[in-house]
Structure 1
Amino acid sequence: MTLLILGGTGEARQIADRLQGYDAVISLAGATRAPAAQSLPTRIGGFGGADGFRTYLQEAGITAVLDATHPFAHRITTRTASICQSLGLPYVQFLRPPWTPETGDNWIEITSETEAAAHIPEGSVVFLGTGRQTLDRFANLTGREVICRQIDPPDKPFPFAGGRFLVGRPPFSVADEVALFTALGVQYLVVKNAGGAASGTKLTAARQLGIPVLMIARPPQGDWPVVATVEAARAWVNAL
């Protein structure tokens, strides 16, 4: 067996840690300039689309794929599952459970970034915990102060007026987030429902500060095998 892990999440790194000694490689998209070191052989960069991915699987002798990309990497996941099915390769997606509101939360669920403006009054201070890849979809937030946190220093200007980047590398504790939101005067928090404890600290901070949260719902889930824990992912590999 030669296993390909599609990584980029903290859980992907944990899965790789538990599979040391296996014939496996972890692939990172290269979205972060200095990604954390992995405990398995690592390739960085895209595959060149569907045809390139198919060619890589065949040339590298990949016999199974474990997809531990971000829950919102829906196009990549759909493409991967489809190609693995066509090649007869075992495939599973690691998908951590979504967040659910707790007592004291003030969540507004939306289905896309463009809906945020309808719920945020002009003049508000808005903190985007959504990353830079979909930043242009918030361009209708005119008249608001928009702050987008990203890991790497920006290599281009903010894409619309009234916004700025804030550089920060996780993890962030609840106390870190409370202090940051207070200092910035954040009035609205916008996040994708990625799930996970590590990035959930901002939700706890928002709850403590009484900040409304606009929660972007996950894309529809396809009909493919899913595991929800790191140990379940390892068990899937061991059962191959």
Structure 2
Amino acid sequence: MRRVLILGGTAEARALAASLVDVHVVSSLAGRVSDPRLPVGEVHIGGFGGAEGLAVWLRDHRIDRFVDATHPFAETMSASAARASELAGVPLLALRRPGWSEEDGDDWQRVPSLAAAVGVLPSGARVFLTTGRRSIPVFAARTDAWFLARSVDPPEPPVPSNVQVLLARGPYTVDGERALIRGHRLEVLVTKDSGGTLTRAKLVAARETGLPVVMVDRPRLPENVRTTDDVEAAAAWAQG
């Protein structure tokens, strides 16, 4: 039986695992979320020890093909996957959901990095920060601004005094996002171009309330990696 490894944790990774038939599927989760949504099939939680460790794991477990279906901003893992594919000689496919596109009525400013996003925030702004708990210290250095930082798990303490943490997990609703924006008198939204529908409601609410958006662009995938944004196409490739 063909053996397929899925590097995931995303909704696309779970959908891919569920769609594969007559295949032994192993899904790998990084273990950064305390209570992850588990896919069907065998699950591996934790790292592999870099690209070299992943290459050894692929060979030892007789993996025929593997899919990088990690978060679009999991830059280090994607680089390790590309290198491990070369070392182990195991074909790799990157599955990435399409990014978001600006629509009529949106007020977006695209930036290339989190550091760039920090730099464009106006002084005194009340910021809706949805870039993940690990980014909070980067933004909190802007002591002239206030942040409502939403994340699935709590950030590492101490939490700076100019940050209020909101623990929540999507999917979110437009009504709920609109209420957050108005209730906290938020003036700008900072988010990553993650794509998908799970957290898109915040962009609709921002458009409806006239909230400007700072959109952090995705890092590029490693060169020469085959890519698709379609789960069915990824399943067909994985099954050969």
- Do Structure 1 and Structure 2 share a fold, with TM-score over 0.5? yes
Extract unaligned runs of 5+ from structure 1: none
- The 3-state SS of whatever aligns with 1:70 is coil
Letter in 2 for 1:80: A
Distance 2:119 2:138 in 1: 13
1:50-87 deviations in Å (ceiling 9; x for gaps): 23222211222212111100011112112211211232
Distance 1:100 1:17 in 2: 28
Check the 8 A contact 1:33/1:152 in 2, yes or no: yes
Q: What's 1:195 paired with?
A: 195
Distance 1:21 1:153 in 2: 39
Q: What's 1:171 paired with?
A: 171
Q: CA RMSD in A?
A: 1.5
Letter in 1 for 2:114: E
Check the 8 A contact 2:110/2:217 in 1, yes or no: yes
Report runs of 4+ in structure 1 exceeding 6 Å deviation: none
Q: What's 1:219 paired with?
A: 219
CA spacing shift, 1:55–1:87, aligned 2, 3 Å? closer
- The 3-state SS of whatever aligns with 2:9 is coil
Check the 8 A contact 2:66/2:91 in 1, yes or no: yes
1:11-53 deviations in Å (ceiling 9; x for gaps): 1111111125521110100111011132111111111222322
Letter in 2 for 1:76: M
Letter in 2 for 1:45: G
Check the 8 A contact 1:122/1:142 in 2, yes or no: no
Distance 2:71 2:155 in 1: 21
Q: What's 2:107 paired with?
A: 106
Q: What's 1:56 paired with?
A: 57
Equivalent runs, 1:71-110 vs 2, <5 Å? 71-110=72-111
Identity across aligned pairs (percent)? 38
Cα offset, 1:133, TM superposition: 2.2
Distance 1:179 1:95 in 2: 31
- The 3-state SS of whatever aligns with 2:200 is helix
Distance 2:21 2:201 in 1: 30
Distance 1:67 1:220 in 2: 14
- The 3-state SS of whatever aligns with 1:199 is coil
- Which stretch shows the higher mean deviation, 1-10 or 216-225? 216-225
1:173-202 deviations in Å (ceiling 9; x for gaps): 111111122111111100111111212111
Distance 2:141 2:135 in 1: 13
Check the 8 A contact 1:20/1:40 in 2, yes or no: no
Check the 8 A contact 2:56/2:88 in 1, yes or no: no
The normalised TM-score by structure 2 is: 0.93
Check the 8 A contact 1:84/1:91 in 2, yes or no: yes
Check the 8 A contact 1:194/1:218 in 2, yes or no: yes
CA spacing shift, 1:135–1:153, aligned 2, 3 Å? closer
- The 3-state SS of whatever aligns with 1:134 is helix
Q: In the alignment, is residue 153 of structure 1 matched against residue 158 of structure 2?
A: no
CA spacing shift, 1:95–1:186, aligned 2, 3 Å? same
